[in-house]
Structure 1
Amino acid sequence: MIGLVVVSHSRALADAVVELATQMTPHGGPTVAVAAGVDGGLGTDATAVAEALADASSPDGVLVLMDLGSAVMSAELAIELADLDGVEVRLSPAPLVEGLVAAVVRAAGGADLATVAREAESALEPKRSALGEPAAAGPSDEHGSTGPPDTSVTLTLVNPGGLHARPAAQLAAALGRLDAEVAVAANGREADGASSLELLTLGTGQGTAITVSATGPDAQRAVDTARTLVEEGFGELPDGDT
């Protein structure tokens, strides 16, 4: 699993962002190291960033998210200072809050560094969609329809909020760990089941029917996993309503 580093001018800001993101995957998410603030005040320090890179270091790579301009410079210098023994490090232009949430969820699903980086960079798309703005231009989606699915199921969301942030993260992380290509369709749209960001664009609520389609060795397991999460209301149902 890749590691993540947050570089921020404010320790309080960084801690809050990490708390928000890691709540999306309470069971087995990636390491998220923080380098934030200087001597109890605002600022960034390249040495502290280098230490965070070492803490988050993984053979699968490290993705770094930053807040303001000088955080980028500190991160760039830190890569030169850190002894990472060939570990690939990427500096992400993603928005700090949305990007970290997206990256944590996708990393928890076992995605590689390039996929997690791409997910973080697309983190504003759900907000754009909600506001009715056109999608930003970006790299074409690498997953696509390759033929009829091996198996599929239509489920009705029973939890009060539908696929809002936390259920979308639960579903994406669970499906991302499986050897299957999974699509989730609702309201005339289709999303990659392993992408919490795409799931958020489906516009679902309680009572919405979603169709989960899967292809690959773990296709049936993927459908069964989705069914269990949906029927259990993603842990959001009052006792006795499951």
Structure 2
Amino acid sequence: MIGVVVVSHSPALAHAAVDLALQMVPGEKPAIAIAAGAGEGLIGTDATAVSAAIDEVASPEGVLVIMDLGSAVMSAEMALDFRSSEAEVRLSSAPFVEGILAAVVTAAGGGSLDDVDREARGALEPKISMLGGAPAPEIATPDVAAPDGTASAASVAERAPAGLSADLTIINSDGLHARPAATLVSTLAGFDAKLTVVNTRSGTGPVAANSLIGLLSLGAKSGDVLTVAASGAQAAEALAKVTELVTEGFGEV
């Protein structure tokens, strides 16, 4: 599991963002270190504190560093020269709060450094799409998709092995928001299977079911039907678990 370092001018901001992200991870959590403030209650960042944080969570899988603004970026860049660990370290351009949430959930799901960085950097795209901004770029889409990045429920079902797809209705009053989406991502980490999801109301998808940002980009509301297709050695078990989660409202209903 990769390590995550959070660099901020404000300890209160950093701890609040990390606490929010950890609430989305029901099981094993990645190693997270916070380097925030300039000491003695001062707002700012310290390169030596950042380097110590990197060494604290360094693992063979790598370390992702997420920064808030300004000198936090410069401190993180300087910290790379001070650290003693040899793990691969990547400084992410991810948005601070949304990026931390996406990174923590994806890391907890066993994502690689590339996976975690991609999810963190794309963390604003669902919000941009919902508020009518520029179209979201391709995010963790499966290998086969229509030219416009969408697919119908029927086309997804046709590509799946016989019997390994299901149409599931979202019953949560708030739809497939961050918490149930994170639960789904974390749950699928335990299965040797690949699942894709399409929102049949909007035709959005398919997206990978182990991508938090991909799931949120579906914009699934209460009453929407999701077509979930599964393949792989544990496809049947994974699909059964997803069916259970959705039909039970992810424990919220």
Q: Give the TM-score of the pair, scaled to structure 2.
A: 0.88
1:14-69 residue CA offsets vs partner (Å, 9 max, x unmatched)? 01110111111032121111000012110000111111112211111100000112
1:209 aligns with 225
**SS at 1:25 equivalent:** coil
Q: Which residue of 2 aligns with 1:231?
A: 247
1:127 aligns with 2:142: no
Residue-by-residue CA offset, 1:82-139 (whole Å, 9 max, x unaligned): 111x21100001111111111111111111001111111111110111111223557x
Kindly, what percent of the aligned residue pairs are identical? 51
Q: How does 1:68-107 map to 2 (within 5 A)?
A: 68-84=69-85, 86-107=86-107
Q: Distance in 1 between matches of 2:196 and 2:91?
A: 29
Is 2:158 aligned against 1:159? no
Counterpart selection for 1:198 from 214, 219, 237: 214
User: Which moved further from structure 2: 170-179 or 218-227?
Assistant: 170-179
- Following the alignment from structure 2 to structure 1, what is the Cα–Cα distance between the partners of residues 190 and 65? 22
Q: How many pairs are equivalent?
A: 235
Residue 142 of structure 1 deviates from its aligned partner by 6.3
How far apart, CA to CA, are the structure 1 residues paired with 2:140 and 2:106?
A: 15
Paired amino acid for 2:185: A
Shift of 1:71: 0.8
Which of 168, 173, 178 is equivalent to 2:186?
173
Amino acid at match of 2:204: R
Deviations 1:118-167 (CA, angstroms, capped at 9, x unpaired): 111111110111111223557x7563228822311111122222211100
- CA distance in 2: counterparts of 1:136 and 1:210, whole angstroms: 20
Which residue pairs with 1:240 in the alignment?
none
Q: Secondary structure at the match of 1:194?
A: coil
- Matched residue, 2:237: 221
Amino acid at match of 1:144: D
Letter of the aligned partner of 1:74 in structure 2?
S
Is 1:36 paired with 2:50? Answer: no
Segments of structure 2 that go 5 or more residues without pairing to the other structure are: 146-157
1: CA distance, partners of 2:30 / 2:210:
16
Once superposed, which parts of structure 1, at least 4 consecutive aligned residues long, lie more than 6 Å away? none
The answer to whether 1:189 aligns with 2:189 is no
